[in-house]
Structure 1
Amino acid sequence: MRLASFQITNFRSINDSGPIDTPQITAILGRNDSGKSNLLRALHSLNPAEGLAELSPIKDFPRHRRLEECHGDTPVVATRWSLDDSERAELAQILPRAAGVRHVTAGRGYGTARWTGLEGLGDLSLDVSDIKGKVRKIVPAVKAAAEKLAEQARATLEQAADAFDAAMILSPDYIRWSAGAVAALQSLRKAMAAADAELSDKQEQMLVELEEVARSIANDTPALARAKEWVLQKLPRFICVDEYPALPGRQNIAEHLARKGWGQAAPEQRNFEKLCKVAGLDPQQLQDLLEKNDQATRNQLANRAGSVVTAEIRRLWKDRELKVRFNLDGPYMDTLVSDPNRAYDVEVNLDERSRGFQWFFSFYVTFFADTKGAGDAVLLLDEPGLHLHARSQADLLAHFEQDFGNQIIYTTHSPFMVPVHRPDAVRTASTSEAAGTTVSNKAEGDARTLYPLQVALALSQTAGEAAKPQQRESTARAGVPSRELIEPVASLP
């Protein structure tokens, strides 16, 4: 399923966000404290990877409203999902009348109960004249067969025929009618079997068709319940990442394993576990090899892990080609980074690299570890790339588009994280005292809200102009836009 849109209500700064359309990648722009993060937090609560939990009215219900207004079913999240062809076929197998359903909905309130819907689900319908016509032919045929029986057997079969005739009279409540019709059909079958009475092939076929109609209606209620449960089971998980804590450049493997065994792993240990997952290393295996004094195997594993991580970092970090190496020193593992293309290829511990690279490395490790095996999870990222250079932010955006099949929704106020080549992906968040946080599917808002988009468009135009042949050649060679191209950007509000 693909998230088509969502809407947040009654959550923190949000009274009603309005419907927010979500293509493959959605960028939500807004000034600081406009409520962008609250949108992601609320959406994440619908189906978090960590498991469903109640929301806190004290913490999450809008502060300007009375707590008595908040109940377990007070709506918070409403979502709309598109189904692909295989999902539509699977749903129709569960509930035949859902064959035309192309979108489903799901939502939640402050309690843990979630609700679902099938958009465009057709009403239960019956061909009344067809049912009446078949009944009019079957009842006389049964009574005709009863005429050939002894008096007591005849009376029993005629009673069953009359009961069947009465039960097959349609009522507006199709579900209730179907329960009576199924029971009457079963009684008629038993009476005919007991009397050894038979109908013609054509009449028998009519009886079978009536049984199928009655059972399909009787089964609709449990089938509808199964269809709604199917929607919940199919919902993609939401993975929300709003922090990328720095990874320690040196880790004591023995201490890590001990803390893990005691259930006292600190954030640094948990992040080290993620690094090992990404690099294909097993801390317990490394410790066992140390105790066996098998340094050769340990070093081979470390070298392979360094090559794996280096290849990915070079693919994603465009600033310059760096090399990552894991050095095993007794119980310690150091993460060392070097620049082979520099005149002096000096290895530096990760802790001593630039803040931007540390952020990117942590992002890569944390994001990869958290999302690996997540399948069709929807990724929610709050202000990614804040510490990155402008060009690296652009590389990060390209990474989102090229390396992930997942839907991604992220917030930003950086012009370098605005996908100007995909204007349909940009949403703007605004806030006011009266309305709270609202979101527009168009580029709307005050000057501060639109500023990142305006700058992004201006920079994109500048880059396009600079790329034109025979135009400001010296400026282009220097990589610096000319003054007349910069002035429109500087004059933006």
Structure 2
Amino acid sequence: MYLSRAHIRDYRSVRDSGEIDIDQERTLLVGVNEAGKTALLKALQQINAPKGADGFSPLRDYPRANYTEVQRGDRDPSDVLVAEATFVLTDVEKKIVLEESPESTGVTEIVIKRYLDNTLRWNFGGAELWRTFGDIEKDLTRLRAYLVKREGSAEVLAGLDALTAGRKPHIALRGEFARKFLAWLETALPLIDEDDEREENRHDRIKVALELDACVTEAGARIRARLPLFVYYSTYFTVRPSINLASLAAREASGDIDPDYDFGNLCLLQLLGLTAKELSELASGEPQPQHYGGGAASDDFLNAVKAYQAKLDDRQYRLNSASVDLTRSIREVWGDDNVQLRLVCDGQYLKVVVVDDIGVEVELDQRSEGFRWLVSFFVVFKAQAQGELKNAILLLDEPGLSLHALKQQEFRKTVARLAEKNQVIYTTHSPFMVGTDELDLVRIVEMTSREAGTKVHTRLVVDDPRSIYPLQAALGYELAQSLFGQSRNLVCEGLTDMMYVEALNTAFTDVGKGLKASISLVPASSASKVIYYVTLLTSQNLKVAALLDSDQAGDNAAKQDELVQLLGSRKILRTKDYCDPGASRPEIEDLLRETLVHVAKDDLGWDVTATAAAQPARPIIEIFKKEISGFSKYKLVRAFIRWLAANEISDLSGAEQAGVTKLLADINKALV
């Protein structure tokens, strides 16, 4: 079976979560801090928590602002439904239901409900769980009329009348009432003529109706035995690098266990199948000759030594097996086949050590927080799921927060692998734990006010925009990755620069003078930001060049030592090298100065012809800004692109054609 829907009510910050659709493999609960993501997982765990997990506590778990309702007795914990989960049955499970209850042909799901007093109730969805007195009332009336005519039926009829007296049609045929009715039906059977098929069938129909409750109950018991275990993991459950066995055993004996501090350590011991007390006693339990009559040569002493050695061997084998299992899991996720984990008993201490690729052993706390998190994660999960994650639903609370962003992305792959055999539900507010191909798996968790409480939205429609920030960031990161899609990249100062180069390249390529290879044009939004884009791109071992205007901002950017070191002077292209030598501080528009003046006049009605002719050294953009109210570089470049599409390259001036041809040739040389 698999979990298909969940619903949480009246639990801490949750008043009514709304129905939560659960994916068959992975479900992501995304929301800001304090939205109630942890509360959802903790409540859901109680559907079928591991042995030893704390149950609901009205004082601790009922919404605190309304706790007086419970104190006054206005709400009985046994009537407060907290967690509801709907599971879809497999074909095997449907067959089990029919084996126990042949009448239950429409059963496709089981609904589990956990109440605040920790009681569990269930049903088979909309399927019938029992029949009512009204369902058999007509058959009983006719059977009674038949029995009246049979000799010796007086006592049987009296029993029937006693059972049915005052019974309303809605009364359920279940429990003690159904059992008494079945017993009466057995007393009536001998009075029915075995050759009377109609009355035999009537008797059988009544019996089936009376037995439905017991049959369904047995079917439900068998199906509930197959419920998946809900295994919860939080970052707080950390395995300590060194565990004092005697101290832990003493805290266990006195009941002074700290659930957060000791939980990871207890899981590690559970994974070994040994208690802290057993390991502690083994550390100090070596037989001493003076305690045996006959000393070291006595049979009793030798047998004791042999038994002690067997215990040590058993401990060592368990430690080794657990070490190998954990090492295999860590290597798969961490991406380092040389890392090795070892569990070592040293006197009263159980240590977790890591062996590096040259054989050096260090304690776990000397490795990164992310590595420790992974070790603790696998220890807790394997322990709670009895070594294997079979038939378990994994509830991960903010997994991988201490992992580097790239490791978080790798951990998503681990979650996907876990989800091949187990359903996984995890909470996060990290964009690196949400893939852009997983948006259909996202459920948004938000709490706009304490009065409304935690709500879960299956669709990405929310009241608080902050709730979807991780999704926006994930999409932004995915978009940023497109920067690294080409091996050759030209970084331009801005979007309009990129648009001019792209339009000119398209036109000149048609006549064999364009860029020779596929080159990605990257707009940096300003000259000062060119260095950042160049740094990012070169760090990926990509070929990069930069095109800078020859104004003051471009000059400042071109003089940056970091940019020169990354690219070298040959790959820093300046617009002054392709414009009229007499131009002062030319920008890319000055490369097309003559044509832009005509395009602006004819297409946009911006006439700067006279000023441009009178001031040939002045940057053309400076003239447009001064002369034209509401001037826009974007309108100008779009007008030029339209003009270029409608005209030939030969319609550019000779100087413009030469300048563009030289620019494209230099870009080719820089990015060979």
1:466 is matched with which residue: 470, 484, 500?
484
Letter in 1 for 2:33: N
Partner of 2:635: none
Partner of 2:591: none
Partner of 1:29: 30
Partner of 2:12: 12
Structure 1: tracts of 5 or more residues without a match: 147-155, 193-197, 485-493
Letter in 2 for 1:210: R
Partner of 2:90: 84
Q: Is the 8 A contact 1:238 1:378 kept in 2?
A: yes
What is the distance in 2 between the residues matched to 1:349 and 1:91? 52
Give runs of aligned pairs for residues 278-289 of structure 1, distance below 5 A: 278=271, 284=279, 287=283
Q: Is the 8 A contact 1:46 1:107 kept in 2?
A: yes
Q: Is the 8 A contact 2:156 2:187 kept in 1?
A: no
Residue 22 of structure 1: how far off its partner (Å): 0.8
Give runs of aligned pairs for residues 416-435 of structure 1, distance below 5 A: 416-433=432-449, 434-435=451-452
Residue 97 of structure 1: how far off its partner (Å): 3.1
SS, match of residue 268 in structure 2 = helix
What is the distance in 2 between the residues matched to 1:301 and 1:124? 54
Give runs of aligned pairs for residues 306-345 of structure 1, distance below 5 A: 306-318=323-335, 321-326=338-343, 329=346, 332-340=349-357
Q: Is the 8 A contact 2:55 2:118 kept in 1?
A: yes
Q: Is the 8 A contact 2:31 2:429 kept in 1?
A: yes
What is the distance in 2 between the residues matched to 1:254 and 1:241? 26
Partner of 2:268: 275
What is the distance in 2 between the residues matched to 1:366 and 1:161? 62
| Percentage of pairs with the same residue | 28
Letter in 2 for 1:43: L
2:363 is matched with which residue: 346, 349, 355?
349
Partner of 2:241: 249
Indicate yes or no: 2:412 matched with 1:412. Answer: no
- Greater CA drift, 177-186 or 308-317: 177-186
Residue 11 of structure 1: how far off its partner (Å): 2.0
Partner of 2:213: 221
Partner of 1:42: 43
- Greater CA drift, 159-168 or 349-358: 159-168
1:439 is matched with which residue: 431, 434, 456?
456
What is the distance in 2 between the residues matched to 1:389 and 1:477? 21
- Greater CA drift, 412-421 or 281-290: 281-290
Partner of 1:450: 468
Letter in 2 for 1:115: R
Residue 3 of structure 1: how far off its partner (Å): 1.4
What is the distance in 2 between the residues matched to 1:36 and 1:353? 29
Letter in 1 for 2:440: D
- Greater CA drift, 36-45 or 244-253: 244-253
Q: Is the 8 A contact 1:375 1:406 kept in 2?
A: yes
What is the distance in 2 between the residues matched to 1:456 and 1:49? 34
What is the distance in 1 between the residues matched to 2:256 and 2:156? 74
Structure 2: tracts of 5 or more residues without a match: 288-304, 488-517, 522-533, 547-672
Higher relative contact order (CA 8 A, sep 6+): 1
Letter in 1 for 2:370: G
1:342-398 Cα shifts (integer Å, max 9, x gaps): xx7643222212222222222222222222346322222211111111111122221
* Alignment CA distance shift 1:158-1:368 (3 Å): closer
TM-score (norm 2): 0.57
Q: Is the 8 A contact 2:382 2:389 kept in 1?
A: no
2:399 is matched with which residue: 357, 380, 384?
384
1:238-269 Cα shifts (integer Å, max 9, x gaps): 22222444433344556666766777677777
* Alignment CA distance shift 1:269-1:224 (3 Å): closer
Indicate yes or no: 2:374 matched with 1:360. Answer: yes
Residue 273 of structure 1: how far off its partner (Å): 5.1
Give runs of aligned pairs for residues 102-251 of structure 1, distance below 5 A: 102-122=108-128, 124=131, 156=151, 186=186, 189-191=189-191, 200=195, 203=196, 205-230=197-222, 232-251=224-243
* Alignment CA distance shift 1:63-1:160 (3 Å): closer
What is the distance in 2 between the residues matched to 1:332 and 1:199? 78
What is the distance in 1 between the residues matched to 2:155 and 2:250? 76
Letter in 2 for 1:35: G
What is the distance in 1 between the residues matched to 2:178 and 2:97? 23
SS, match of residue 203 in structure 2 = helix
Q: Is the 8 A contact 1:164 1:188 kept in 2?
A: no
* Alignment CA distance shift 1:462-1:287 (3 Å): same
What is the distance in 2 between the residues matched to 1:178 and 1:10? 35
SS, match of residue 219 in structure 1 = helix
Partner of 1:62: 63
* Alignment CA distance shift 1:93-1:259 (3 Å): same
What is the distance in 1 between the residues matched to 2:241 and 2:475? 39
Q: Is the 8 A contact 1:160 1:191 kept in 2?
A: no
SS, match of residue 454 in structure 1 = helix
What is the distance in 2 between the residues matched to 1:277 and 1:471? 58
* Alignment CA distance shift 1:290-1:40 (3 Å): same
Residue 99 of structure 1: how far off its partner (Å): 1.5
Q: Is the 8 A contact 1:428 1:449 kept in 2?
A: yes
What is the distance in 2 between the residues matched to 1:237 and 1:307? 25
* Alignment CA distance shift 1:175-1:13 (3 Å): closer
What is the distance in 2 between the residues matched to 1:370 and 1:183? 46
Superposed CA RMSD in Å reads: 4.7
What is the distance in 2 between the residues matched to 1:11 and 1:55? 9
Residue 70 of structure 1: how far off its partner (Å): 3.6
Q: Is the 8 A contact 2:7 2:85 kept in 1?
A: yes
Residue 51 of structure 1: how far off its partner (Å): 5.6
Partner of 1:393: 408
What is the distance in 2 between the residues matched to 1:115 and 1:392? 42
1:107-148 Cα shifts (integer Å, max 9, x gaps): 2332233322222315859999x979x979x969x98xx9xx
Q: Is the 8 A contact 1:49 1:238 kept in 2?
A: yes
What is the distance in 2 between the residues matched to 1:104 and 1:199? 40
What is the distance in 2 between the residues matched to 1:459 and 1:97? 55
* Alignment CA distance shift 1:290-1:388 (3 Å): farther
Partner of 2:540: 479
* Alignment CA distance shift 1:161-1:367 (3 Å): closer
1:7-50 Cα shifts (integer Å, max 9, x gaps): 11222222211111111211111111111111112222333224
SS, match of residue 328 in structure 2 = helix
What is the distance in 2 between the residues matched to 1:47 and 1:162? 47
Q: Is the 8 A contact 1:30 1:412 kept in 2?
A: yes
Letter in 1 for 2:372: Q
What is the distance in 2 between the residues matched to 1:88 and 1:269? 41
